[in-house]
């Protein structure tokens, strides 16, 4: 009893007399080593069955309501201070899909919500700044388990509450049938799943550094509120202006304010409308970009169709956002600052703004398109190609540099970071001029697109750094011949590579060539079927009756045909398929990424059906 009384007195003494000098709990101490655990009711079998399912030991009643857990901890640290916290996540988990948030690497997902009702979720929530993260993101779910081992740096305020939760959703999970272990964390395999977090480092954020809005919500402004928007209007269409601060996830070093403009359809279509996203050139900002739409011929790429929503974003107001986070060969400092595979803060801001617009205006998520002119064309390549899970197709008018895309896509001589897996890119339309110095590098860019089997419809000619479509078409009348706004993100598309009907590229050694040229200008496809066992697609060349052009359209062309964005015929790496195309037939194995490519198909103006079967 004496010991207990003395202990109580000592504690009271610290609280009442010495509290001012007692240090706050070490930041991150209560989080370090926390484990999300989904134990199994069954022991590890000697020889587990591939894809096996086991029951969750968390379930003590209704599996749809009891198969979950929640724990809270205090982050510690000093209230009023913010910390950059580097966390390492390791474990054995099953895949889960999420939506409405931001993908950060292969497994980490910022915000959003679960996009499947049966697989396990692993969630970390921070009370301040208000944010949450999921740990086991994959492109698709399935009977698989895999190891995670990655680090992420997030911001947490001193004294914040940390909430760790997991939800099995149905009382079952994919068992650890692979007998996976995590050295230093779990040496002996268990039949269930888990994820563990360890705190690698905690650093105080310097005063004045950027802090996220507690709940990022752009504020609507009137034209009178924004001096630069004076007189802004789009004939016959409603226009809205929004301004906002930053999210910590974007990575800005200082606070800043950005603006964007949303233009409504002149006549709202039945059902969900499509979205037309515009990136301005170096000679414009968001305000002058919108003003260009008042006259035909003034940067025609900026003009959205009347039945679309249009989103105009800005990269001029804040210096660090220049060139849409990319670079070009003429600016060594910009290249040094923005090099590498990781997106810059402005790129993350653009993507989040697009997602916000999709949600607010109930946009058809399969009909979102990105375009830009000059610097905006460079940004279209760099931001658009990497985000094929957002954009159905993209179009770049005289892009001012290909370096942005080359770095972000890991085109030679660059490479993607280990573990980075990009979604199938959008269909790309690019028109550039060899007599435009900004087009430098298009030869290696076109080669990289071909070698990666990415979709490229490319047009060129000596039209300089032009933005007026009527003037450009006097040189190359193909630039608007492909219906890029007809591409949908939820439909498979054909990629044509190594085609016999392509013109010879003038880059890099024949830039004075006066002849217009094209790559893949005359190939088209139409989807017929896409099931779990079969894909059918009509493939053909346009005829002179269908396309009026000064170019001679070949009557026959040979090309390798790859199938991307396949919706239901999910192919495993190295899987064998049988194919037919007209009278031709054969078998093919997918590449290490699971891509199906049929080589040397003879394509004519008479449509032939390509079928691929298991």
| Tens digits of residue pLDDT in 169-226 | 999 999 999 999 999 899 899 999 999 999 999 999 876 555 544 457 899 999 998 9
Whether 148 shows a pLDDT value over 90: the answer reads yes
Whether 21 shows a pLDDT value over 50: the answer reads no
Instruction: Find out whether 133 and 162 touch, Cβ atoms under 8 Å.
Output: no
Residues 63, 127 share a domain: yes
Rank 24-33, 57-66, 604-613 by mean pLDDT and report only the highest. 604-613
What average pLDDT score do residues 428-448 get? 97
Q: Domain count for the chain, please give it.
A: 3
Residues 235, 164 share a domain: no
In a domain, 284, yes or no: yes
Read off the tokens for 194.
Answer: 């888990």
CA distance 368 to 275: 5
Distance between terminal CA atoms of the chain? 77
CATH of the domain at 229: 3.40.50.1820
CATH of the domain at 581: 2.60.40
In a domain, 510, yes or no: no
pLDDT at 3: 39
Whether 12 shows a pLDDT value over 50: the answer reads no
In a domain, 251, yes or no: yes
> What does 446-509 look like in DSSP terms, one character per residue?
HHHHHHTT--EEEEE-S--S---HHHHHTT-TTTT-S-GGG--TTS-EEEEES-TTPPPP-TTT
CA distance 440 to 432: 10
In a domain, 1, yes or no: no
In a domain, 117, yes or no: yes
Q: Give tens-digit pLDDT for 400-411.
A: 999 999 999 999
Q: Give tens-digit pLDDT for 585-602.
A: 999 999 999 999 999 999
Whether 13 shows a pLDDT value over 50: the answer reads no
pLDDT at 422: 92
pLDDT at 14: 40
Whether 4 shows a pLDDT value over 60: the answer reads no
CA distance 247 to 216: 7
pLDDT at 207: 65
Residues 481, 357 share a domain: yes
Residues 232, 339 share a domain: yes
Residues 459, 563 share a domain: no
In a domain, 538, yes or no: yes
CA distance 450 to 462: 23
Output phi, psi for 121, to 5 deg.
Answer: -110, 145
In a domain, 498, yes or no: no
Domain boundary among 150, 175, 204: 204
Residues 164, 112 share a domain: yes
Instruction: Find out whether 232 and 322 touch, Cβ atoms under 8 Å.
Output: no
CA distance 84 to 203: 5
Residues 198, 113 share a domain: yes
Instruction: Find out whether 111 and 100 touch, Cβ atoms under 8 Å.
Output: yes
Instruction: Find out whether 98 and 113 touch, Cβ atoms under 8 Å.
Output: yes
Whether 424 shows a pLDDT value over 70: the answer reads yes
| Domain containing residue 463 | 219-490
Residues 588, 481 share a domain: no
Residues 387, 267 share a domain: yes
Residues 39, 170 share a domain: yes
Among 95-104, 119-128, 441-450, 603-612, which stretch is predicted with the lowest mean pLDDT?
95-104
Domain boundary among 143, 173, 204: 204
- Mean of per-residue pLDDT scores for the chain: 92
Domain boundary among 448, 466, 490: 490
Per-residue confidence band for 428, with pLDDT thresholds at 50, 70 and 90:
very high
Whether 250 shows a pLDDT value over 70: the answer reads yes
Residues 318, 450 share a domain: yes
In a domain, 27, yes or no: no
The residues, any chain, with a CB within 8 Å of residue 261's CB and separated by 6 or more, are: 232, 239, 240, 241, 242, 286, 287, 290, 311, 312
Residues 592, 549 share a domain: yes
């Amino acid at each position: 009893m004496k010991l207990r009384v003395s202990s109580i007195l000592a504690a009271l003494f610290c609280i009442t007399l010495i509290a001012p000098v007692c240090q706050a709990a070490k930041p991150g101490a209560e989080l370090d080593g926390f484990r999300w655990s989904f134990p199994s009711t069954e022991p590890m079998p000697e020889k587990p069955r591939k894809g096996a399912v086991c029951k969750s030991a968390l379930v003590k009643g209704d599996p749809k309501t009891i198969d979950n857990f929640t724990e809270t901890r205090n982050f510690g640290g000093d209230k009023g201070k913010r910390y950059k916290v580097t966390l390492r996540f390791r474990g054995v988990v099953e895949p889960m899909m999420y939506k409405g948030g931001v993908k950060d690497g292969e497994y980490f997902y910022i915000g959003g919500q679960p996009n499947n009702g049966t697989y396990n979720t692993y969630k970390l929530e921070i009370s301040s700044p208000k944010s949450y993260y999921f740990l086991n993101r994959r492109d698709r779910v399935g009977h698989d388990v895999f190891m995670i081992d990655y680090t992420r740096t997030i911001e947490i305020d001193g004294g914040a509450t940390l909430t760790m939760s997991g939800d099995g959703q149905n009382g079952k999970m994919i068992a650890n049938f692979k007998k996976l272990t995590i050295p230093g964390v779990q040496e002996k395999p268990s039949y269930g799943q888990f994820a563990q977090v360890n705190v690698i480092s905690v650093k105080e954020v310097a005063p004045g550094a950027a802090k996220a809005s507690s709940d990022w919500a752009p504020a609507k402004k009137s034209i009178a509120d924004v001096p630069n928007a004076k007189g802004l209007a789009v004939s016959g269409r409603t226009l809205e202006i929004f301004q906002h601060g930053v999210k910590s996830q974007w990575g800005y070093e200082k606070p800043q304010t950005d603006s964007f403009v949303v233009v409504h359809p002149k006549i709202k279509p039945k059902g969900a409308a499509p979205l037309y996203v515009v990136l301005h050139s170096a000679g414009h900002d968001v305000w002058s970009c919108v003003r260009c739409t008042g006259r035909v011929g003034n940067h025609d790429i900026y003009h959205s169709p009347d039945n679309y929503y249009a989103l105009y974003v800005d990269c001029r107001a804040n210096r660090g956002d220049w060139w849409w986070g990319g670079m070009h060969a003429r600016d060594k400092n910009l290249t040094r600052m923005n090099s590498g595979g990781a997106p810059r803060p402005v790129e993350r801001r653009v993507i989040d703004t697009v997602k916000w617009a999709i949600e607010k205006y109930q946009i058809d998520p399969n009909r979102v398109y990105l375009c830009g002119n000059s610097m905006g064309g460079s940004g279209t390549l760099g931001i658009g190609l990497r985000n094929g899970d957002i954009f159905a197709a993209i179009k770049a008018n005289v892009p001012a540099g290909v370096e942005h895309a080359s770095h972000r896509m890991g085109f030679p001589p660059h490479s993607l970071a280990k573990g980075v897996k990009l979604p199938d890119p959008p269909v790309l339309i690019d028109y550039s001029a060899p007599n435009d110095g900004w087009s430098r590098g298009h030869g290696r860019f076109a080669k990289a697109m071909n070698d990666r089997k990415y979709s490229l419809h490319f047009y060129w000619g000596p039209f300089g750094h032009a933005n007026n479509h009527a003037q450009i078409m006097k040189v190359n009348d193909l630039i608007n011949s492909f219906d890029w706004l007809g591409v949908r993100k939820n439909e498979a598309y054909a990629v044509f590579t190594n085609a016999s009907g392509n013109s010879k590229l003038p880059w890099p050694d024949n830039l004075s060539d006066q002849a217009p040229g094209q790559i893949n200008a005359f190939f088209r496809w139409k989807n017929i079927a896409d099931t779990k066992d079969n894909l059918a697609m009509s493939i053909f060349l346009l005829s002179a009756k269908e396309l009026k052009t000064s170019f001679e359209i070949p009557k026959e062309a040979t090309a390798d045909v790859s199938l991307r964005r396949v919706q239901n015929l999910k192919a495993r790496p190295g899987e064998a398929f049988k194919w037919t195309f007209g009278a031709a037939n054969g078998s093919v194995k997918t590449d290490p990424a699971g891509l199906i490519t049929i080589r040397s198909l003879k394509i004519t103006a008479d449509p032939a059906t390509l079928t691929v079967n298991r």
